[in-house]
Amino acid sequence: MSLAFVTSLFFACTNSKSSDTAATTSDSAVAAAPAKPQPAEFADSKYADIGRKGNAALSSGDIDGWMSSFSDNAVYAWNNLDSLAGKAAITAYWKKRRGEVIDSISFTNAIWLPIKVNQPQSVEQPGVWLLGWYLTSAKYKTGKRMTQWIHTLMHFDANDKIDRVLQFLDRAPINAATKK
């Protein structure tokens, strides 16, 4: 290593007082400027609690308890483009499904991520979303079982009620388990 390089490096390192002053000045300017919101940020963990409580209620067969988190105008949609519109329709579907088709259902290994979308990147609504991934195991009235990972997205309205659910699952194992 040449002495000229060491000397330059030494002077560059010891001559940082003016750059520290510049950094402090620019840090003050940044602190004084209003913060621009990020496109998305973490939301309150209370939304993850809503997801956990909802899955527990669905697992126990308490459809009314689960539906208490939904708005009256909620839409429940699946990745195969089927959907239900309105809290009454969603409630009727799940009461029938849970009472006549599904004998038992459980959700394990859940991951919940509440986020707030400030600036949509595509077609998603702004506001709070809860992203959930969980292993679903169900026993059907046919005696057959099904296990798969399900991904669910829930959007919350201004009153912290679920107004949109998008659920991604594989219908093939469900259809096979429900056949007599």
Confidence (pTM): 0.79
Report the alpha-carbon distance of residue 136 to residue 43 in Å, rounded. 25
Contact between 142 and 178 (Cβ < 8 Å): yes
Backbone torsions φ then ψ of 93, nearest 5 degrees = -60, -50
Count CB atoms within 10 A of the CB of residue 157.
Answer: 16
Return the closest-CA partner of residue 167 out of 121, 116, 122, 107. Answer: 107
Q: Which residues pair with 85 in a beta bridge?
A: 75
Report the alpha-carbon distance of residue 11 to residue 139 in Å, rounded. 73
pLDDT in tens, the chain (180 residues): 444 434 444 444 444 454 455 555 555 555 666 788 899 999 999 999 999 999 999 999 999 999 999 999 999 999 999 999 999 999 999 999 999 999 999 999 999 999 999 998 888 899 999 999 999 999 999 999 999 999 999 999 999 999 999 999 999 999 999 998
Backbone torsions φ then ψ of 118, nearest 5 degrees = -90, -40
- Give the tens place of pLDDT for each residue, 120-168: 888 889 999 999 999 999 999 999 999 999 999 999 999 999 999 999 9
